[in-house]
Structure 1
Amino acid sequence: MSTNNEFNVVVIEDDNADFIILESLLSASQRFRFQLTHIKNFQEAQQYLTEDSHDIFLLDYFLGADTAIDFLKEASLLHIPQPIVVLTGADSGRIDDEVIDLGAADFIPKNELSTSLLERTIHHAVEHKRAELNLERMAKRDPLTGLGNRLLFEEMLEASLARAERKKGKLAVLFLDLDRFKEINDSLGHPTGDLLLTLIADRIRKVIRNSDFAARIGGDEFTILVDEIHNYEDAVLVANKLLDAISPPTAIRGHELNISASIGIALYPENGKTPIKLMQKADIALYEAKRHGINRLQCFTARLQTELEKNIKLEKGLRRALEHNECELNLQPKWNLSSRKIIGFEALLRWFEDEGGVKRFVSPAEFIPVAEKTGLIIPLGAWVIRQTCKLLKSWEEQGISDYPIAINVSPVQLKPGNFGAFLKTILDKERISAHMLEIELTEETLVDIHSEDDNALEELEQIRSTGAKISIDDFGTGYSSLKYLKHFPADYLKIDKSFVSVDGSDSLAEPAICRAIVTMAESLGMQVIAEGIETEEQLQALKEIHCTMGQGYLIAKPMPAEQALQFALDHNCLNPEYTDQFSSPGGE
């Protein structure tokens, strides 16, 4: 852009005589200097829409077979930052109104042209546009770091993609996420976390070029547009520079922090030609990078494309499953370790996809991550709750009220802020006692609730107010802190099965960890359930450290609800000593 007294003007005019008149009038200006670029046709003018070396367009309304309308529409789609002033030879109020509605800054009848009118019109149009852009960009800036936000990033990316398409060029979208930022935020507090984010933003600015653009799109997630690259290696070079710039130890509020980041990369045109596709694929690449550790980068690959297509297929299948009732509820018994009597169940969602009349079992490990990422976990979770409550009501009507059922709840279900109310509505509708229901949350979910999400914390409080029990699942595998359990104690802790059983061994996999969890739970007034018990040796070892409840294939695998109830009734009528009559090997 030029200074306040000098303007670079693109004149789009197919009549040489009219251009000479404009040139003469503008050269006579005493207030400003005008540098003119003369364009004679619409096709050549389109090339200048994606250039940023000029301040304003003076556009003749009629350009051969084309009109200013076509140019204005394309300029609007590309969100160009330069104002457009239309020169109209026709005396038509309708044309004037039309070009203003399409985004023209002003219009000037050719028969009224003068140096003073052109000076005033150009100066006001440029200054007004600059002020408008400044206000717009302030509204589209992250208030903490000063970087752009998601909306501004998508606009900048869209404009860069238009330039790249015209020039047959390349660009890259980088998704950057700080490793273990949550731990820093939780242990040192949000003010320290905010200072760290500001520092990281400054380091990103110092690495990228003026032609690139960075944004903070939420939490500790940043996006970087790397414009005008030649190949894949250029994007990797920038990504490595970013990782190096972020990694030096950082002193904040008396704490020396060791920071690292992970980066996912998507390339145009190889990985997509629209902002949404490139950002989606950079995000998938980032997830893959973080899956393999810290301080890593990953480009979107053919393998990730295959996984993406698989996930899209799974998403479509899940939507169909919800519509056509293809899901089932299985129950896995929980039992008292001493008496071996069944004391309750865990509800497990099972999906049997209908593929042309053939039922195919889809593992929860396959579809649950897709359901969480797409939000389908919310209707799926609601289905599980409804089915579980109906089942409990049915048992109650048969005079059976000895077997509470635990259901797994994703943090995604808590975020909208209506889970507690929904749960209470279902409990009231089925008229069952809330103590027959147990809500299982993973250990990491509990940390997330306390550290980030006030809505989720309120949801948890509302769950407890209904009378439903709460258990912390997979305990020992996440990032737990005792303060979370102390301030908001759960009713149960579930020892993750990785600490109980390991392939090829009959003994308890991690006896010291199991003992520590039991001791901690006792001190906090909680009960402990051990998952994945497969052998007598494991059961005896757990009893010795005073663990009282368990699940696992030693007694029973998950089974359909009707079968599970009959199993419990029959099993509890037997001698409490273990019998292999009901032992069921196999996978969950």
Structure 2
Amino acid sequence: MNHHGNRPPGKQATLLAQHPARLVKDAFEQSQTGMVITDAEGRIMMVNDAFCRIAGSDRAETTGWPIEDFFVSLHPFSGLPGSGDDTHNTALSWQQEVLCRQSDGESVPVLMLVDTLQDDQHVPRGRLYSFVRFTTPGGELLDERHWVHIDPMTGLPNWLLLRDRLDHALAQAERADTTLALLFIDIDRFKAVNDAVGHIEGDRILGDIARRLQQVVRSKDTLARLGSDQFVVLLEKDGTAEAAQVVAERLQEALEPPFNSGDRYLLLTSSIGVALYPGDAEDLETLVHAARGAVFTARKKGPGRLAFVDHRLTSRLKEKYRLESQLSEAIHLPDRHFALHYQPEFDRNSLRCTGMEGTLRWKHPERWQQPPSHYLDAIARLGLGVRLNRWMIRAIIADHRQWSDDASPLAQLPISLYLCEAHLAQDTFDSRPLDHFLRHLDTPSFEWLTLKVPAQGLGSDLDRATHMLKRLEQLGIRLAVEELGSTPVDLAWLSRLPFHKATVDAQLTRAHRDGRRLVEASCRMLNSLGIEPVIVGIDDEKVAADMEATSARLVQGDLYCPALSAKALTAWLDEHQPPEE
């Protein structure tokens, strides 16, 4: 018979070391996984060394404290169900991504696994928490940026996911020869806010910041958190400097309302640096570094500023958006800010005025000297072309009615007007097509009016444009093509449309070596289609000399007469119009 007392000492020690309770204790203590046991109220009863290292605390600083004091999560902490609660619908185990704050203030991302501990009656009496950090095969801890794809505090993509998307976007942009924009966002003076409200409250505010930024970022863009108070936006589908400027302004506006922190109201701003691919950088690391450098440039100007890597671009875009802001204000009050001038058109043989073109003049003290075409792109971007076009049509009708009442010879001259492309696409702010708008104007006839269709407007939706042009023709309006030769046009299709005139820009002679031949070829082609060419842009003697041999009969330009106000045009016509033969 064997008795325990008869066992050799070595054998007995081995058995004690293999006792289940001892094995469990050793596993708990020696595990590299941070482990915590809490009571039913969620207060810490036991921790191991691995958890102390992750949390940056010793055992004395952890025991007795609530477990939720040692991590931050987007998800609310779930307390243990009480004895009277329904436990059937309560998860007994789960896992989630959290941040554990270390003693140096840095947040370490870990995977937290939670297991509920039950007594013999299946009543929860505590929980076992396991905190896992992944390591390399050599045992080295992975940098937190390379751990998971989602930042647990904000729910945004982290550096790893952003880097993957940026790698893919750069490869796509290189193949398609397109641009990308990277916006680096730094929350101004956030460290002071963190010190004032505490790290836990600061983390909550960062979550609020992330949600506000996410609400204004376009669905096709990527918003990521790099860590601390730094965010990045990748503009992949529309990575132009202009798009970056618009998105940056929306991001800064999203932070303008104050943030609530208890009984405090915190005002936060952001400095944003923008780097463009391929202009500023052609690889991932350099692009991020360039955008980060632009943040420092922005901060030098003060909080809440924006800067591009190319400082000249910052100035140009600032001026561009200043112009658009002024234009938008002016177009909503056109009678105050704009005036209509008229530039005569001439028969080059008799020098008689054969018609005139209505042109826009902005009464802005710095802007009025620019030609109308200088603003067309900006007006189109603002979506205000239809509004301004309608105001011009009303103003021309009022001037023509006045000339008719005064029996002025100007009433006998046809008037042409540039038609914005949005009218052809029937892309109007009030869904009212141009012909419907014209029918409701107090005008007995439109036979004196010519609408000049932009050549680029004839290259998109041809069927829709054709339908609109024929409806305008039914109103008695004559149609012309503007700037033929600057945009490819289907000649077979052009021959089927009801155009009676087309303008050809004489400045082609300066833009192309064979410009004069190009102008003449355009004039001959138009004549063969029964469309009369008008050579425009003849502003000096040299250009006039280059155009002397062309077959066009009609000409226009500042050399013959600049655009004049309605009153000045009346006086000019009385003095310069030769008598009819």
TM-score by length of 2: 0.53
Partner of 2:445: 433
Is the 2:466–2:497 contact (alpha carbons within 8 Å) kept by the matching residues of 1? Answer: no
Q: Cα distance, 1:383 vs. partner?
A: 1.2
Query: For 1:411, which of 403, 412, 421 is the aligned residue?
Result: 421
Map 1:71-110 onto structure 2 (within 5 A): none
> Counterpart amino acid of 2:485?
G
User: Residues 112-131 of structure 1: CA distance to partner in whole angstroms, max 9, x if unpaired?
Assistant: 343x53469999xxxxxxxx
- SS for the counterpart of 2:558 is coil
Q: Cα distance, 1:308 vs. partner?
A: 2.8
Please identify, of 324-333 and 424-433, the stretch whose mean Cα deviation from structure 2 is larger.
424-433
- SS for the counterpart of 1:347 is strand
User: Residues 382-427 of structure 1: CA distance to partner in whole angstroms, max 9, x if unpaired?
Assistant: 2111111111121222233321111112213444445884455446
- SS for the counterpart of 1:429 is coil
Partner of 1:347: 358
Partner of 1:338: 349
Partner of 2:318: 309
User: Residues 350-401 of structure 1: CA distance to partner in whole angstroms, max 9, x if unpaired?
Assistant: 112268xxx9655545533222111122222221111111111212222333
| Cα RMSD (Å) | 4.6
Question: Could you tell me how far apart the structure 1 residues matched to 2:377 and 2:349 are?
Answer: 36
Is the 2:40–2:80 contact (alpha carbons within 8 Å) kept by the matching residues of 1? Answer: no
Query: For 1:402, which of 391, 412, 422 is the aligned residue?
Result: 412
Partner of 1:511: 516
Q: Cα distance, 1:567 vs. partner?
A: 1.9
Is the 2:43–2:66 contact (alpha carbons within 8 Å) kept by the matching residues of 1? Answer: no
Query: For 2:68, which of 37, 41, 60 is the aligned residue?
Result: 41
The alignment status of 1:111 with 2:84, answered yes or no, reads yes
The alignment status of 1:242 with 2:265, answered yes or no, reads no
- SS for the counterpart of 2:364 is strand
Partner of 1:549: 554
Partner of 2:329: 320
The alignment status of 1:571 with 2:571, answered yes or no, reads no
Map 1:134-283 onto structure 2 (within 5 A): 163=151, 226=166, 240-244=170-174, 246=175, 260-269=176-185, 275=217, 282-283=239-240
- SS for the counterpart of 1:396 is helix
Unpaired runs of at least 5, structure 1: 1-12, 22-37, 50-56, 61-86, 90-108, 124-159, 172-208, 214-224, 227-236, 247-259, 289-295, 577-588
Is the 1:420–1:463 contact (alpha carbons within 8 Å) kept by the matching residues of 2? Answer: no
| Cα distance, 1:16–1:119 mapped onto 2, change above 3 Å | closer
Partner of 2:254: none
Is the 1:501–1:533 contact (alpha carbons within 8 Å) kept by the matching residues of 2? Answer: no
Partner of 1:329: 340
Question: Could you tell me how far apart the structure 2 residues matched to 1:515 and 1:474 are?
Answer: 14
Partner of 1:474: 483
The alignment status of 1:559 with 2:569, answered yes or no, reads no
| Cα distance, 1:421–1:369 mapped onto 2, change above 3 Å | closer
> Counterpart amino acid of 1:516?
A
How much identity, in percent, do the aligned residues show? 16
Query: For 1:526, which of 519, 525, 531 is the aligned residue?
Result: 531
Is the 1:529–1:549 contact (alpha carbons within 8 Å) kept by the matching residues of 2? Answer: yes
Question: Could you tell me how far apart the structure 1 residues matched to 2:506 and 2:172 are?
Answer: 39
Is the 1:334–1:345 contact (alpha carbons within 8 Å) kept by the matching residues of 2? Answer: yes
Partner of 1:284: 241
Question: Could you tell me how far apart the structure 2 residues matched to 1:332 and 1:165 are?
Answer: 64
Is the 1:285–1:298 contact (alpha carbons within 8 Å) kept by the matching residues of 2? Answer: no
Is the 2:483–2:504 contact (alpha carbons within 8 Å) kept by the matching residues of 1? Answer: yes
| Cα distance, 1:161–1:412 mapped onto 2, change above 3 Å | farther
- SS for the counterpart of 2:447 is helix
User: Residues 496-548 of structure 1: CA distance to partner in whole angstroms, max 9, x if unpaired?
Assistant: 23225679xxxx97232122112211222111000122456755765644211
Q: Cα distance, 1:333 vs. partner?
A: 0.8
Report the number of matched residues: 369
Question: Could you tell me how far apart the structure 1 residues matched to 2:472 and 2:545 are?
Answer: 35
Is the 1:440–1:473 contact (alpha carbons within 8 Å) kept by the matching residues of 2? Answer: yes
Is the 2:482–2:504 contact (alpha carbons within 8 Å) kept by the matching residues of 1? Answer: yes
TM-score by length of 1: 0.52
Please identify, of 363-372 and 379-388, the stretch whose mean Cα deviation from structure 2 is larger.
363-372
> Counterpart amino acid of 2:553?
T
Unpaired runs of at least 5, structure 2: 1-35, 45-64, 96-147, 189-212, 219-232, 246-276, 281-307
Q: Cα distance, 1:240 vs. partner?
A: 4.8
Is the 2:360–2:372 contact (alpha carbons within 8 Å) kept by the matching residues of 1? Answer: yes
Is the 2:180–2:234 contact (alpha carbons within 8 Å) kept by the matching residues of 1? Answer: no
User: Residues 265-315 of structure 1: CA distance to partner in whole angstroms, max 9, x if unpaired?
Assistant: 132227996526975983335799xxxxxxx83455433332332233223
Partner of 1:444: 456
Question: Could you tell me how far apart the structure 2 residues matched to 1:334 and 1:164 are?
Answer: 69
| Cα distance, 1:574–1:338 mapped onto 2, change above 3 Å | same
Question: Could you tell me how far apart the structure 1 residues matched to 2:549 and 2:403 are?
Answer: 34
Partner of 1:297: 278
> Counterpart amino acid of 1:117?
N
- SS for the counterpart of 1:269 is strand
Is the 1:474–1:496 contact (alpha carbons within 8 Å) kept by the matching residues of 2? Answer: yes
Partner of 1:128: none
> Counterpart amino acid of 2:185?
P
| Cα distance, 1:267–1:566 mapped onto 2, change above 3 Å | same
Question: Could you tell me how far apart the structure 1 residues matched to 2:494 and 2:391 are?
Answer: 29
Question: Could you tell me how far apart the structure 1 residues matched to 2:383 and 2:546 are?
Answer: 41
Question: Could you tell me how far apart the structure 2 residues matched to 1:329 and 1:474 are?
Answer: 21
| Cα distance, 1:330–1:513 mapped onto 2, change above 3 Å | same
- SS for the counterpart of 2:499 is coil
Question: Could you tell me how far apart the structure 2 residues matched to 1:44 and 1:457 are?
Answer: 66
Partner of 1:78: none
Question: Could you tell me how far apart the structure 2 residues matched to 1:388 and 1:262 are?
Answer: 43
User: Residues 434-461 of structure 1: CA distance to partner in whole angstroms, max 9, x if unpaired?
Assistant: 22111112211111232xxx55444333
> Counterpart amino acid of 1:339?
S
- SS for the counterpart of 2:530 is coil
- SS for the counterpart of 1:552 is coil
Q: Which structure features the higher share of helix residues?
A: 1
Question: Could you tell me how far apart the structure 1 residues matched to 2:497 and 2:580 are?
Answer: 39
User: Residues 165-209 of structure 1: CA distance to partner in whole angstroms, max 9, x if unpaired?
Assistant: 9699987xxxxxxxxxxxxxxxxxxxxxxxxxxxxxxxxxxxxx9
Larger radius of gyration, structure 1 or 2? Answer: 2
> Counterpart amino acid of 2:532?
Q
